[in-house]
Amino acid sequence: MITHPAFPPEPWVIRERGLDLSVLAQSESVFALSNGHLGLRGNLDEGEPHGLPGTYLNSVFEFRPLPYAEAGYGYPETGQSIIDVTNGKLIRLLVEDEPFDVRYGELRSHERVLSLRDGVLRRTVDWVSPSGRRMQISSARLVSFTQRASAAIAYEVRPVDAPLYIVLQSELVANEQMPTTSADPRAAAALESPLRPEQRTAYDAHARLVHSTRASGRRVGVAMDHTVDCPANVRTSVECSPDTARFTLTTRLAPGQSLRVVKFLAYGWSSVRSIPAISAQVEAALTLARQSGWEGLLAEQRQYLDDYWARADVDVDGDPQVQQAVRYALFQVLQASARAERRPIPAKGLTGPGYDGHAFWDTESYVLPTLTYTTPHAAADALRWRRRTLPTARKGARQLTLDGATFAWRTINGDESSGYWPAGTAALHINADVADAVIRLIQATGDEAFEREAGLPLLVETARLWASLGCQHADGAFRIDGVTGPDEYSALANNNVYTNLMAQRNLRGAAEVAKRHPDEAAGLKVTGDEIAAWARAADAMFVPYDEKLGVHPQAEHFTDLAVWDFAHTRPDQYPMLLHFPYLQLYRKQVVKQADLVMALYKRGDAFTADEKARDFAYYEPLTVRDSSLSASIQAVIAAEVGHLDLAYDYLGEAARMDLDDLEHNTRDGLHIASLAGAWIALVAGFGGMRDSGGSLMFAPRLPAPLARLTFSVLWHGQRLCVNVTRTDATYSLEGDDPVELTHHGRSFRLTAGQPVTHPIPPVEPGPRPSQPPGREPGRRGSA
């Protein structure tokens, strides 16, 4: 766990002073750079020491067998694992006869700074070699948002006290040796030497390697070129072997003289293109990057991010840590998705191998709500990726003897890669989550082309799933039995409230969109009868309620179960999945992550305010937050029911999940959904934004420590800005079309150039609900 003050709370940068090797792997994740297509972990330039080396290309994975001690019908036999592709980040340095290695000699200073303004990771080092030679080393690294295949590194070295011989080796290395992985199921399965060499070339300051994966047939090309700037004479050479290419520079520098090298990298991959085609592709990208030059790339990067912050920034007055964390979160959400372009957005982005690089429901339920209002084209692309996997999802449904489509619980290429079906394939809510994201995007953008091409087929096929999965009970209710909701400490329950309500939204959304596009719907063989059946199922959807307790059970009869014995659960027994058998977790009232509370948020329209308050109070003492997906949603509902301090605590947890390594597994990659959840906690929590009714509703209210909160959302291409203080909220619009909004239940019309201010009504929450002993969020709100 990274402890304070590792990253001082600066508004626009993440700064690491000093280098703590015990948290190296975590910091590699925190300082990862990515554009959604190419990802580089924040490994040190010189490669070692490392926590976990990592270079990733979206959708470059290898197959691996999924073994079963006892097999069952339909179990997937092959899974996918993201692989560490050729490492192009390496720049090794030899000072006289000593390699620069922070573990040796004396590290006088070491600072890394990630700028959220220009997306560059800068490093400055003051090092004295074991034999007493002092060097200043600096590097800057970026993964281009504007040139998705490219990355660049500016590296500079300067002797301080005496003239020194310098050797610099810039490398490409394939099939890096990986540290042994942990037994934690949330980590990844390591694949040894996944890349088969196919082609290599090296000349001048340039080299290229082409490899391919054995089973998945991914061909990966990477090329590097360099510009060199040095007052002294520099001798260079270049060489390559099947798994390594190396550009070597040798010089002798006087004190104050510096050798500066810019390394340009270009990556490309394909499962269909030939070696010459891939080679040409990466060379073209490399040419473009070299042509832009370091300064050009930097300027493009800054411009890209200026645009982003202009539309997406959230300004928090009163808590520098939260201010920093939410900007970091927004930056990483962008890094995970910006150029993913019809490829998945993995749970860890491209920052680490955790969860094997798979995408889950996290994408649609956490990342896309954030992207929808800040970077809608990326949200649309992610859903177009789902659309691309529909044929596989249809096959999945057939295998389950269901109609429509069932999206894989975890996957890279669309095929189910989940090896434990009760908490994988059975979590069919993912299909309603996809539909929910589609409905939200259509509402927020009005993008007709998307609606027709991707939205309609996604809604239709998921609606068909629910229609065939559920059944009309004798009492008239439409039941969905034996599926798993979001809470992974329950499985295979009947009528999970979240699932049923999301299915209802799915069915209604499909009916609406199908009616809007009758021709396209007919092309999908949708009939009027089918639409009517969806509407009937939605209207009859069963939502269980415990009359005695006056709360909604997470799933039917959940509240009959014994409550987990939290009093006798030790702090070191969390996360519980690593210390208790599913057999016991499933049969008790213990909640890993927001499930019913997730329903209170995503389907807030289906609950009264009183129900929300009682439900939230009931589930808080049962929820252990062993998932990073929980805190943000608890923040939203805590805020809604008036527990603003508690909401603030949860916001802090969601936002600082990775900066503070709260789940102790940031080493495997960032928690992209939790980071997106930080935005949700602020905007839906303290901004009180809701969108499930078709228009935007706000019910802002700030916790004591915050003086002001300002955020923007894109609505049909227009920028809507909300500025919240302790007493009132001001809404303003940039755009031509007036927007109908709601403030604390009161509708109003907002027109460009005419900001509207509404007072914030007071709230009287009940007593602060308790959490399981030892699982209270870190106190932030009571400050």
Whose Cβ is closer to its own copies: residue 177's or residue 573's?
573
Binding-site residue total for its own copies (CB under 8 A)? Answer: 53
Binding to its own copies by CB under 8 A, coded x per residue (else -) over 653-682, reads ------------------------------
Residue 277 binds its own copies, judged by CB under 8 A: no
Q: Which two tokens stand for residue 488?
A: 């992974």
> How would you list the strands of the sheet with 91-95, edge to edge?
98-99, 91-95, 164-173, 244-253, 234-241
Whose Cβ is closer to its own copies: residue 186's or residue 625's?
186
- Out of 488, 520, 640, 663, the active site residue is 488
- The distance from CA 750 to its chain's CA centroid, rounded to whole angstroms, is 33
Residue 580 binds its own copies, judged by CB under 8 A: yes
Residue 551 binds its own copies, judged by CB under 8 A: no
- Quick one: which of 21, 277, 310, 471 contacts its own copies (CB under 8 A)? 471
- Quick one: which of 8, 482, 717, 735 contacts its own copies (CB under 8 A)? 482
Whose Cβ is closer to its own copies: residue 240's or residue 555's?
555
User: From residue 137, how far is each of 20, 89, 237, 247, 253 by CA, in Å?
Assistant: 18, 16, 22, 19, 13
- Quick one: which of 94, 160, 215, 492 contacts its own copies (CB under 8 A)? 492
Minimum gap (Å) between residue 81 Cβ and its own copies: 12
Minimum gap (Å) between residue 486 Cβ and its own copies: 17
Q: What residue spans of 237-345 are helical by DSSP H?
A: 275-312, 320-337
- Quick one: which of 547, 583, 753, 762 contacts its own copies (CB under 8 A)? 583
- Quick one: which of 527, 584, 747, 782 contacts its own copies (CB under 8 A)? 584
Alpha carbon distance 14, 324 (integer Å): 8
Q: Which of 156, 150, 163, 278 is nearest to 212 (CA)?
A: 278
Segment contacting its own copies by CB under 8 A, of 133-141, 190-198, 420-428, 628-636? 420-428
Alpha carbon distance 413, 780 (integer Å): 41
User: From residue 705, how far is each of 323, 645, 652, 710, 730 by CA, in Å?
Assistant: 12, 9, 12, 15, 19
Helix (H, G, I), strand (E, B) or coil at 262: strand
- Quick one: which of 350, 491, 629, 702 contacts its own copies (CB under 8 A)? 491
The verdict on whether omega for the bond into residue 575 sits within 30 degrees of 0, i.e. cis, is yes
Binding to its own copies by CB under 8 A, coded x per residue (else -) over 349-378, reads ------------------------------
- Quick one: which of 422, 621, 735, 765 contacts its own copies (CB under 8 A)? 422
- Quick one: which of 312, 333, 483, 531 contacts its own copies (CB under 8 A)? 483
Q: Which two tokens stand for residue 483?
A: 């599926």
- Quick one: which of 579, 664, 746, 779 contacts its own copies (CB under 8 A)? 579
Minimum gap (Å) between residue 559 Cβ and its own copies: 10
Residue 571 binds its own copies, judged by CB under 8 A: no
Binding to its own copies by CB under 8 A, coded x per residue (else -) over 376-415, reads -----------------------xxxx-------------
The verdict on whether omega for the bond into residue 346 sits within 30 degrees of 0, i.e. cis, is no
- Quick one: which of 7, 328, 421, 607 contacts its own copies (CB under 8 A)? 421
- The distance from CA 250 to its chain's CA centroid, rounded to whole angstroms, is 42
Is residue 591 a contact partner of residue 487, using CB atoms and an 8 Å limit? yes
Whose Cβ is closer to its own copies: residue 126's or residue 184's?
184
Whose Cβ is closer to its own copies: residue 419's or residue 703's?
419
Q: Which of 268, 251, 283, 282 is nearest to 159 (CA)?
A: 251
- Quick one: which of 37, 50, 387, 479 contacts its own copies (CB under 8 A)? 479
Residue 562 binds its own copies, judged by CB under 8 A: yes
Minimum gap (Å) between residue 471 Cβ and its own copies: 4
Only one residue has tokens 């090298």, namely 261
- Quick one: which of 229, 295, 307, 560 contacts its own copies (CB under 8 A)? 560
Alpha carbon distance 557, 566 (integer Å): 21
Whose Cβ is closer to its own copies: residue 192's or residue 519's?
192
Q: Which two tokens stand for residue 405?
A: 């489509």
Segment contacting its own copies by CB under 8 A, of 40-48, 309-317, 490-498, 707-715? 490-498
Whose Cβ is closer to its own copies: residue 183's or residue 272's?
183
Whose Cβ is closer to its own copies: residue 66's or residue 265's?
66
Minimum gap (Å) between residue 581 Cβ and its own copies: 4
Helix (H, G, I), strand (E, B) or coil at 219: strand
- Quick one: which of 533, 582, 710, 756 contacts its own copies (CB under 8 A)? 582
Whose Cβ is closer to its own copies: residue 76's or residue 705's?
76
Minimum gap (Å) between residue 560 Cβ and its own copies: 7
The verdict on whether omega for the bond into residue 130 sits within 30 degrees of 0, i.e. cis, is no
Only one residue has tokens 């700064």, namely 15
Alpha carbon distance 727, 714 (integer Å): 25
- Quick one: which of 481, 512, 546, 611 contacts its own copies (CB under 8 A)? 481
Whose Cβ is closer to its own copies: residue 426's or residue 696's?
426
- Quick one: which of 5, 581, 753, 767 contacts its own copies (CB under 8 A)? 581
Minimum gap (Å) between residue 506 Cβ and its own copies: 19
The DSSP H or E segment spanning 137 is strand 134-143
Only one residue has tokens 């209210």, namely 701
Catalytic-residue membership of 239: no
- Partners of 748 in beta bridges: 741
Determine the residue type at 421.
W
- Quick one: which of 167, 561, 756, 763 contacts its own copies (CB under 8 A)? 561
Whose Cβ is closer to its own copies: residue 71's or residue 277's?
71
Alpha carbon distance 430, 412 (integer Å): 15
Whose Cβ is closer to its own copies: residue 35's or residue 431's?
431
Cβ-defined contacts of 365-368 (< 8 Å, 24+) = 365/433, 365/436, 365/437, 365/598, 365/602, 365/629, 365/673, 366/629, 366/632, 366/672, 366/673, 366/674, 366/676, 366/677, 366/680, 367/333, 367/336, 367/337, 367/672, 367/673, 367/676, 368/437, 368/440, 368/441
Q: Which of 544, 530, 462, 438 is nearest to 501 (CA)?
A: 544
Residue 578 binds its own copies, judged by CB under 8 A: yes
Q: Which two tokens stand for residue 147?
A: 């040139």
Only one residue has tokens 């030892």, namely 774
Residue 567 binds its own copies, judged by CB under 8 A: no
Minimum gap (Å) between residue 57 Cβ and its own copies: 24
In the region spanning residues 58 to 97, those forming contacts with its own copies, defined by CB under 8 A, are 66-76, 79
Determine the residue type at 277.
A
- The distance from CA 628 to its chain's CA centroid, rounded to whole angstroms, is 11
- Quick one: which of 577, 591, 646, 681 contacts its own copies (CB under 8 A)? 577
Alpha carbon distance 318, 252 (integer Å): 51
Q: Which two tokens stand for residue 505?
A: 């939204």
Is residue 212 a contact partner of residue 273, using CB atoms and an 8 Å limit? no
In the region spanning residues 182 to 221, those forming contacts with its own copies, defined by CB under 8 A, are 183, 185
At 642, phi and psi to the nearest 5?
100, 0
The residues that touch its own copies, with contacts defined as CB under 8 A, are 66-76, 79, 183, 185, 399-402, 418-422, 424-426, 471, 473-474, 479, 481-483, 491-492, 494, 548, 556-557, 560-562, 577-584, 586-588
Residues recognised as catalytic: 488
